[in-house]
Structure 1
Amino acid sequence: MRTTTVLALALLLGGCATQADRAAQQQREVDEMIAVYGPACERLGNARDSEQWRSCILALDTRNAVRYRTAPTTTTCFGHRGFFNCSTF
């Protein structure tokens, strides 16, 4: 029993990402967005490293994220007339 508890705790703590790990992951995602959408935004007439160029990259990434979302969602509501609580997963 003690071994199982220690093993479960080790797995739980081992799965936690540090602040540096999360920052590195975010930087990789930003670099990927720039590599994918940067040239298209430049062809659309936005100067590289301008605020419009950054906004264009974010807009194209958001549009594609919504378009290609494949995860099914479901909405569950409970309550009575006038007082509903709905959750979407």
Structure 2
Amino acid sequence: MRNVIHIIGVLALALLATACTTPQERAARMQAEMTQLIAIYGPACAQLGYAANSDPWRQCVLHLSTREELQRMGNASSYYGGWGPGGWRGGGYWGPYW
């Protein structure tokens, strides 16, 4: 439950931040984010055998960052959305027999 509230809060802040910025500011922020992702995951993709600054290398960078982000989210992305304690297995807020 705490993760869901945290994710909703982060998404709300991101939406609010994008609503108050110009397209140029958003592009600059996205460029800075991509530069950070390349600095973090680029060496790992190069070690995996991808040629630096190639399209497969860029896809590798995005794949590794997405994978880590999904791991941080944990159970919030379970089959039924992860609502309630235990996700769909525990019945969550809907109960076990809905």
Q: TM-score range by the shorter chain?
A: 0.5 to 0.7
**TM-score between both structures, scaled by the size of structure 2:** 0.55
Shift of 1:20: 1.0
Q: How many residues are aligned here?
A: 62
Amino acid at match of 1:74: W
Partners in 2 of 1:60 and 1:44 — Cα distance?
12
User: For residues 1-89 of structure 1, what are the structure 2 equivalents within 5 Å?
Assistant: 16-69=20-73, 74=83
Q: CA deviation at 1:36?
A: 0.2
Unaligned runs of 5+ in 2: 1-18, 77-81, 85-98
What is residue 12 of structure 1 aligned with on the other side? Answer: none
Distance 2:31 2:73 in 1: 22
Aligned-pair Cα RMSD in Å: 2.4
Q: Distance in 1 between matches of 2:54 and 2:64?
A: 16
**Structure with the higher helix share, 1 or 2:** 2
The structure number with the bigger radius of gyration is: 1
By relative contact order (CA 8 Å, sep 6+), the higher-ranking structure is 2
Using the aligned pairs only, state the percent identity: 42
Structure 1: 4+ residue segments shifted above 3 A = 72-75
Q: Mark the runs of 5 or more structure 1 residues left unpaired by the alignment.
A: 1-14, 76-89
